[in-house]
Amino acid sequence: MADIQAIAKQFTDFYYTTFDTNRQGLQSLYRDHSMMTWEGSPIQGAAAIVEKITSLPFTKVQHKVTTLDAQPSSPTIPSLIVSVTGLLVIDDSENPLQFSQIFQLIPDGSSYYVYNDIFRLNYG
């Protein structure tokens, strides 16, 4: 599981750094058949997913990862499920929001793309 954890860490470091500094840059991580469920709303395809992400109404955001778990998601290909819980600091708010996010990453050459993405805010 060591490699899986390292891949998950590398992916989430890149994903959230890109989200927090240049949301448009996330588009290369998705494909036309990628799925996102954002707060219960389904969105299909890289263009629509990144349009959603870039339209979120805040100017400054910071993801702080609290827990990161990963497992192989298939017995036949080296895909993985990544589960993140963490805090979202929006526009320097002093009250960060808890979130949970799940990705399924599919190998693509020497890299991975996001096939599944489910995001939820967790209200206490």
Region near its own copies per CB under 8 A, out of 7-15, 17-25, 48-56, 78-86: 78-86
Q: Is 62 one of the binding residues for its own copies (CB under 8 A)?
A: no
Q: Is 13 left (phi over 0), alpha (psi -120 to 50) or beta?
A: alpha
Region near its own copies per CB under 8 A, out of 10-18, 21-29, 54-62, 79-87: 79-87
Strand order in the sheet with 80-90: 41-44, 30-38, 111-122, 97-108, 80-90, 61-72
Q: How far is residue 62's CA from residue 64's CA, in Å, rounded to a whole number?
A: 6
Contact residues for its own copies (CB under 8 A)? Answer: 1, 33, 35, 37, 40, 42, 66-67, 69, 71-75, 81, 83, 85, 98, 100, 102, 104, 115-116, 118, 120, 122-124
